[in-house]
Amino acid sequence: MSFLHRLRKLFHRAAAETELEREIAFHLEMETRALERTGLPADAARREAMRQFGGVHRAKEECRDAWSIRLIDTLRQDLSYGWRGLRHNPGFAIIVILTLALGIGANTAIFSVVNGVLLRPLPYAEPERLVSLTQSASKTGQSSIGFSVPDFMDFRARNRGFSAMSEYHSMSFILLGGAEPEQVQTGVVSDNFFDLLGVKPILGRTFRPGEDKPGAEPVLMLSYHYWQTKLGGDRSVIGRVFQMNNKPHTVVGVLPPLPAFPNENQIFMPASACPFRGSPDVLTHRTARLLSNVFARVKDGVTSVQAEEDARRIGLELCSQYPESYPTNDGYSVGLSSVARAFTGNARAGLLLLLAMSGFVLLIACANVANLTLSRLLRRNREFAVRLALGATRGRIVRQLLTESIMLASLGGAAGLLLANLGVRGLLIYAHRFLPRADEVGLDGSVLLFAVIVTLFTALLFGSRVRFPADGDVVGALKDGSRGTALAHSRFRALLVIGQIAVSVPLLVGAGLAAHHLYNLQTVDPGINTSQVVAANIALNWTQMDTFDKRFAFWNHVVEEVRALPDVDSVAVSGAEPLNGLTNYTSNFRIEHQGSSAEGASPHAIILASTEDYFKTVGEPLVRGRYFNHGDAHTSPAVAIINQALANHYWRGEDPIGRRITFDNGQSWVVVVGIVANTHQRLDADTLDELNIPLSKTDGLIGATVLARTHAPPDTFAKVLRQVIHHVDPNQPITSVETLAQVRQGLLAPPRLTTTLLVLFALVALLITAAGIAGVLAFSVSQRTQEIGIWMALGATRGSVLWVVARQALILVGIGLLVGTIGALFVCRYMQSMLYGVPAIDMITFTVVIAILLLVSTLAALAPARRAASISPVLALRMT
Whether 2 has a pLDDT exceeding 60, the answer reads no
Whether 760 has a pLDDT exceeding 80, the answer reads yes
Give residue 435's pLDDT band: very low, low, confident or very high (50, 70, 90).
confident
For residue range 130-153, what is the model confidence (pLDDT) as tens digits?
A: 999 999 888 777 778 889 999 999
Burial class (CB in 10 A: 0-12, 13-18, 19+), 15: exposed
Poorest-confidence range of 8-22, 294-308, 721-735?
A: 8-22
Whether 482 has a pLDDT exceeding 50, the answer reads no
> Residues 865, 802: contact at Cβ < 8 Å?
yes
Report the alpha-carbon distance of residue 695 to residue 458 in Å, rounded. Answer: 64
pLDDT of 330 reads 79
pLDDT of 481 reads 46
Report the alpha-carbon distance of residue 451 to residue 13 in Å, rounded. Answer: 34
Whether 28 has a pLDDT exceeding 80, the answer reads no
Give residue 672's pLDDT band: very low, low, confident or very high (50, 70, 90).
very high
pLDDT of 19 reads 72
Report in angstroms the alpha-carbon separations of 255 from 22, 168, 202, 293, 780.
72, 17, 6, 20, 67
Give residue 113's pLDDT band: very low, low, confident or very high (50, 70, 90).
confident
For residue range 444-467, what is the model confidence (pLDDT) as tens digits?
A: 778 888 888 887 777 776 655 555
pLDDT of 280 reads 82
> Residues 817, 846: contact at Cβ < 8 Å?
no
pLDDT of 271 reads 92
Report the alpha-carbon distance of residue 457 to residue 104 in Å, rounded. Answer: 11
For residue range 576-594, what is the model confidence (pLDDT) as tens digits?
A: 888 876 665 778 888 988 7
Give residue 331's pLDDT band: very low, low, confident or very high (50, 70, 90).
confident
> Residues 451, 417: contact at Cβ < 8 Å?
yes
Whether 60 has a pLDDT exceeding 80, the answer reads no
Report the alpha-carbon distance of residue 465 to residue 377 in Å, rounded. Answer: 9
Name the strand (E) or helix (H) holding 489. Answer: helix 483-523
Give residue 472's pLDDT band: very low, low, confident or very high (50, 70, 90).
very low
Average pLDDT, integer, range 420-436: 79
CA–chain centroid gap for 790, Å, is: 56
pLDDT of 3 reads 47
Poorest-confidence range of 455-464, 712-721, 841-850?
A: 455-464
Report in angstroms the alpha-carbon separations of 423 from 109, 110, 501, 759.
6, 9, 26, 15
Out of 118-122, 431-435, 703-707, 801-805, give the one with best mean pLDDT: 703-707
For residue range 163-190, what is the model confidence (pLDDT) as tens digits?
A: 999 999 998 888 888 777 788 999 999 9
153 Cβ contact partners less than 8 Å away, ≥ 6 residues apart: none
Whether 864 has a pLDDT exceeding 90, the answer reads no
Report the alpha-carbon distance of residue 351 to residue 617 in Å, rounded. Answer: 38
Burial class (CB in 10 A: 0-12, 13-18, 19+), 840: exposed
Helix (H, G, I), strand (E, B) or coil at 334: strand
Whether 67 has a pLDDT exceeding 60, the answer reads no
> Residues 603, 588: contact at Cβ < 8 Å?
yes
Whether the ω angle into residue 262 lies within 30 degrees of 0, i.e. cis, is: yes
Q: What angle do CA 429, 431, 435 make, to 5 degrees?
A: 130
Helix (H, G, I), strand (E, B) or coil at 602: coil
> Residues 679, 641: contact at Cβ < 8 Å?
no
> Residues 607, 642: contact at Cβ < 8 Å?
no
- Buried b / exposed e across 418-431, counting CB within 10 Å, b at 16+? ebbbebbeebbeeb
Average pLDDT, integer, range 370-374: 75
For residue range 691-701, what is the model confidence (pLDDT) as tens digits?
A: 999 999 888 88
> Residues 790, 878: contact at Cβ < 8 Å?
no
pLDDT of 95 reads 82
- SS3 annotation, 790-838: HHHHCCCCHHHHHHHHHHHHHHHHHHHHHHHHHHHHHHHHHHHHHCCCC
For residue range 583-627, what is the model confidence (pLDDT) as tens digits?
A: 657 788 889 887 655 456 778 888 899 999 999 999 999 999 999
148 Cβ contact partners less than 8 Å away, ≥ 6 residues apart: 282, 285, 286, 287, 288, 289, 290, 291
pLDDT of 207 reads 95
Give residue 794's pLDDT band: very low, low, confident or very high (50, 70, 90).
confident
Q: What is the mean pLDDT of the chain?
A: 83
Whether 510 has a pLDDT exceeding 50, the answer reads yes
Poorest-confidence range of 4-13, 483-492, 634-643, 651-660?
A: 4-13
Domain boundaries, the chain: 3-68, 127-344, 347-522+747-878, 541-731
Count of beta carbons in the 10 Å neighbourhood of residue 681: 20
pLDDT of 37 reads 76
158 Cβ contact partners less than 8 Å away, ≥ 6 residues apart: 314, 317
Average pLDDT, integer, range 804-817: 84
Count of beta carbons in the 10 Å neighbourhood of residue 5: 11
Whole-prediction pTM value? 0.80
Whether 78 has a pLDDT exceeding 80, the answer reads no
